Amino acid sequence: MTETRGFRLGLPRAARPRALDRSLYPAAVAFCEARGPDGVMAGHRLGQALSMPVISGELWVIEQPGARLPGQRLAAGHLRSLMWLGGGLMLVGADAADAKSFAPLVRQRGNRYVSLVGDSAAVAALWSELAPAWPQPRAYRQAQPLMAISGPASGEPDGSVRPATADMLDALVPACRSMFTEELGFSPPGPELAYRAHVASQIERGALLARCDPATGEVIFKAELGAGCGQWVQVQGVWTNPAHRGHGIAKAAMAAVVAHARARGWRGVCLYVNDFNASALAVYRAVGFTQVGTWATVML
């Protein structure tokens, strides 16, 4: 049996979430690929799950009404929305009604997730169902523009932004920690050695791009080529050293990040940013990013 029965919520049949087993994950990955920037993070996580001997998360979907014929194997075009329950909760394609349909599943599993991410209206609807019984979140960013660029960046790329190397690790760990704390308001969880290993793994796989002072080794700018799905890659962890802000460094550095991503075969680059971060929004727009949606994040 390749699909579990729909979770009975007393809802119309088309709105019932259904769990998918491993054999049907490719349809969900293809759905995420078709969603472009909106599906990058979840599609990446699903791809990672498929690479493991045992899948530790859960995948639930809502199908388009009448899209699939009886007995027809599930395909991307049959899906309306999905929710991935891994370390965090990720919503893709869900409107407020779909999000509320997923709520009983999450409540059954308890408040053991680190975050909730997705379209802002869907996140608000799901969080309204969970909040009364869950602890106060560490942060709730209700409006985060989802931005994308599918061509070359505007402006000349900064040629000194390059993939980080192992000898830069000592300088990059505090820079990455500073970015995390500045962005989220709290330090990265877990022991220092584990965080250092995380940064080292980013360097090893060529995902961490940085500009450093050639004389001192000080990190001036850093960004990560994070989640990737289909033709899109999501940039994460963008940070300019406070001592070097206001000097026009970030625009050329972000143009270089886009150039590096495209050189590696990604057609499009996306990211999401807090709506109150006016300086970052100005940089991304100057580089050529446009807003394609609005996300929200609940940090639990």
Q: Number of helices (H) and strands (E) in the chain: give both, helices first.
A: 8, 12
Q: What is the pLDDT of residue 4?
A: 39
Q: What are phi and psi of 230, to 5 degrees?
A: 65, -125
3-state SS class at 100? helix
Written as six digits, the tokens of 46 are: 């699903």
String of b and e for 77-102 (b: at least 16 CB within 10 Å)? ebbbbbbbbbebbbbbbbbeebbbbb
3-state SS class at 240? strand
Distance CA 143, CA 55 (A): 31
Spans of all domains in the chain: 13-135, 162-295
Q: What is the pLDDT of residue 11?
A: 47
Closest to 209 in 3D by CA, of 198, 217, 196, 220 = 220
Any idea how long the chain is? 300
Q: What is the pLDDT of residue 275?
A: 96
Q: What is the pLDDT of residue 184?
A: 79
> Which H or E run contains 162?
strand 162-163
Written as six digits, the tokens of 148 are: 């994308």
Q: What is the pLDDT of residue 3?
A: 41
DSSP 167: G
Segment-wise mean pLDDT, segments of 10 residues, the chain, 300 residues: 40 73 97 98 96 94 94 96 97 97 96 96 98 95 97 96 97 94 84 94 96 96 97 97 94 98 97 96 98 97
85: which strand partners?
58, 89
Q: What is the pLDDT of residue 2?
A: 39
Question: Taking CA 144 as the corner, what is the angle to CA 139 and CA 145, rounded to the nearest 5 degrees?
Answer: 175
Q: Which fold has domain 13-135?
A: Aminopeptidase (3.40.630)
CATH code of 162-295, in short, is 3.40.630.30
